[in-house]
Amino acid sequence: MTPVTRIAPDVSWLPVSFVNVYFIGHAGGPWVLIDAGLPGRAAQILAAAKACFGAGNRPEAIVLTHGHFDHAGSALQLAEKWDVPIYAHPLELPYLTGRSAYPPPDPTIGGAIAFLSRFMPSGAYNFGARVRPLESKAVPGLPDWEWLATPGHSPGHISLFRSADRVLLAGDAFASMDMDSWTGLVTGKRTLARAGAPFNSDWAATKSSVQKLAELQPEVVACGHGTPFSSGPIAARLARFAARFRPPRHGRYVARSAETNHEGVTSLPPAPFDPVPFATAASLVLGGIALGAGYFDRRK
């Protein structure tokens, strides 16, 4: 089992494949799960929760930073196992109650995660009555924390902050690994970078959210992807990152963002030409022609 790592008082980190979940609370007391990992990973999260809080100690709630498949994939299974509610920003509810799919990812911006996004789902979940809207700025079950609206990566994306010791859970507002680089994606080397760039459907909002979080001057930063920063001059690093944050040079949502409301997606900019599927199809066709013509047999 992947070990759980403590990154701040009452805050523990569990990597679930390439995405992170967080446990907030202490053994024997109330606690909350932040995000729920990929589909099919409930058993791993349940085992980690048991190790942290003891058998039978269920959380007060599951809080989602947003509803993309890698953050909400095991949420319903866990909520049913523990019999607890799932909370998300009201603007995320259309994608968690089956009313709307997310804006489709944009693989044409380039980079490793953009290439892989062609094979990732962007459809809706339906958590039914299990999912509830976050209200005010309080985090259910966590009186010392507040949630902050940080849209851009998704319409209702949130981050969580504890001002007492300046701990920030940023979700996918940004990442602590370079997901645009194949090397960064494979090694997970710790750095501040864009998170899930092909899924960002509003780049102006994404930049504003990064700047908003930098103004908090956090001393601990934990993201949805990558190893958390729990020491060093993180506030200064985040300020520099926010100051030089730029959208991609081109892409579907660069000049015009997706338009959404409480019902889901209302309008999308036109999809740009994506050459990769055509290049792949052409390669398969040419390969089939060559095989059919006996080319490889003659070469042999």
The DSSP annotation for 202-247 comes to: -HHHHHHHHHHHHTT--SEEEESSB--B-SSSHHHHHHHHHHT---
CATH code that applies to domain 5-269: 3.60.15.10
Q: Is 184 left (phi over 0), alpha (psi -120 to 50) or beta?
A: alpha
Q: Taking the domains of the chain in order of start, what are their residue ranges?
A: 5-269, 275-300
Name the residue with higher pLDDT: 289 or 265.
265
Position 282 scores a pLDDT of: 38
Name the residue with higher pLDDT: 173 or 3.
173
Tell me the pTM: 0.91
Backbone angles phi, psi at 270, to 5 degrees: -60, 145
Give the integer Cα–Cα distance in Å for 1 and 295: 50
Position 184 scores a pLDDT of: 96
**Strand extents, DSSP E, the chain:** 5-8, 11-16, 19-25, 31-34, 62-63, 86-88, 131-133, 138-139, 142-149, 158-162, 167-171, 175-177, 190-193, 220-223, 259-261, 264-267
Q: How much is the average pLDDT of 147-175?
A: 98
289 pLDDT tier (thresholds 50, 70, 90): very low
pLDDT in tens, 103-143: 999 999 999 999 999 999 988 999 999 999 999 889 999 99
How many Cβ atoms are within 10 Å of 98's Cβ, its own excluded? 14
Give the integer Cα–Cα distance in Å for 104 and 262: 18
pLDDT in tens, 170-188: 999 999 999 999 999 999 9
Residue type, 136: S
Calculate the average pLDDT of the chain: 92
Position 136 scores a pLDDT of: 87
Q: Which helix (H) or strand (E) holds 288?
A: helix 275-292
Q: How much is the average pLDDT of 3-11?
A: 94
Q: Is residue 172 within 8 Å of residue 65, measured between CB atoms? A: yes
